[in-house]
Amino acid sequence: MIRTSFCILVVLVIFDFPVIESQSLKSDGTHSARFPTPSRDFVEHAALNCRRQSAILTDFGAIGDGKTSNTKAFREAIRNLTSRAGDGGSQLIVPKGKWLTGSFNLTSHFTLHIKEGATILASQDESEYPMLQVLPSYRDTRFASLIYGSNLTDVVIAGDKGTINGQGKSWWAKYRNGGFKSIQRPMLIEIQSSENVQISNINLIDSPMWSIHPVYCRNVIIKGVKISNPIDSANTDGINPVGRPIEMLLIRRFSCIAPNGAGIAMGSEMSGGIKGVRMEDVTLHNTQSAIKIETAMGRGGYVQNVWARRFTIKTSKYVFLMTGSHKPIPRDGNIPKAKPVVTNINFRDITGENVSTSAKLEGMKSNPFTGVCMSNVSISLSPNASKQQFHCMDIVGESRSVKPQPCSLLPDKHPGVRFECTFPTEKIPIENVVLKRCAGHVF
């Protein structure tokens, strides 16, 4: 799994929406040919697919006063729209207001559109979150997320700057008091075993646990998302994708503040492996570590083919943190000799400012991390920076133009020859996805 902490995310994957699909929508599904003009009932967003059928949450008796429970309304609305989704897909519009609700499930060929000024407020009543089965990667049973979906195809959560507020405070407090022994708290959004998933233009705040958790999904686009959780909240990762393995992940135009965590972390859970991660144009302010890879003997799996470029890092304890001595998996399935493989990890065009320690790179004794490459890295130090800037153990790699002077395990292997760490030039398929502009009136 790859984690991003308390974050202001800009793009996880891709953009551009030159295709215009415009129609006037009625909640009975008919649509007029008239080109719509913006008004109170006008909805607009960019999405993988536009929908023919539309309904507004208030059609199902919802009350947006922030106090009345709308759990039944959300569930009934989606049940109703599921039956109509076969005819060109369906969407549920959440209008301006504060809509208190417990957990509900999404459906296929469906869009949840959260309008500007609309807030979906998560219920703090545990009985409103069904219990779900354990995932193979975790030992805990779990509450369903506030917004959950599994075995879906073509599902969109597209805001128009709408908000999902997890009201996590009571969950964090109970967790800190040992209240959830072997139960995972709810995520805000979890989509499992699904494909063609989009989450865009929404604000997520105060999640009980992680904010966005795509599990075993294919073709996921997360863009224009702003996530904020208080620094003293408990384990509230921003985006935490899990795959079998994670492959072809692109993180770009991403910025993040995470004083107690990493800007971007890979591991320690891997669900098999992490392979082919591109990261570019990333800005991190005040992180404990900027980029972290962590694993341990017994966890198995791999992290391979990671490319990072154009990072701007301001105030960080570590810029590069790699460790093979993270805690082992605390469960029965732990195979003590399962060696994780960490190889081909590339960092280039990176600047750091006000940094305490540039790098701590520690592989495993009989199992070094290999192919670690750093080029064009320039780090300036904080007034109380440590004397030793590179801590290296059990790694194999090389470097070029790195300041401060890197450790001897990262020698310049090509003196006198032009050299930079690699970054792939070919695009991955999801970069070619073009979002459509979906706009229309809802009566």
Residues that bind ligand NAG (CB under 6 A): 55, 59-60, 75, 80, 83-84, 103-105, 130, 132, 144, 148, 150-151, 193, 315, 317, 349-351, 354, 356, 376, 382, 384, 386
CB nearer ligand NAG, residue 314 or residue 326 = 314
Peptide bond into 245 cis (omega under 30): yes
User: Is the distance from CB of 298 to CB of 328 less than 8 angstroms?
Assistant: yes
343, with CB counted inside 10 A (0-12, 13-18, 19+), is: middle
Half-sphere exposure of 170 (CA within 13 A, CB side): 8
- For residues 43 and 160, the answer to whether their CB atoms sit within 8 Å is yes
Smallest separation (angstroms) from ligand NAG to the CB of 363: 23
Question: Judged by CB, which is closer to ligand NAG: 367, or 412?
Answer: 412
Least CB distance to ligand NAG at residue 243 (A): 13
**Could you tell me the smallest distance in angstroms from the CB atom of residue 29 to ligand NAG?**
8
Q: Which is nearer to ligand NAG, 38 or 401 (CB)?
A: 401
On whether the CB atoms of residues 106 and 75 are closer than 8 A, the answer is: no
Nearer to ligand NAG, 350 or 438 (CB): 350
Cβ at position 322, least distance to ligand NAG in Å: 18
Question: What's the min distance (Å) between Cβ of 283 and ligand NAG?
Answer: 12
The number of beta carbons lying within 10 Å of the beta carbon of residue 417 is 8
Q: Which is nearer to ligand NAG, 280 or 349 (CB)?
A: 349
CA distance 409 to 391: 10
- Ordered DSSP codes for 314-340: EEEEEEEEEESBSPPP-STT--TT---
- Pick the closer one to ligand NAG by CB: 201 or 287: 287
Spatial distance between the Cα atoms of 115 and 75, rounded to a whole number of angstroms = 19
Query: Partners of 217 in the beta sheet?
Result: none
Q: Minimum Å distance from CB 280 to ligand NAG? A: 11
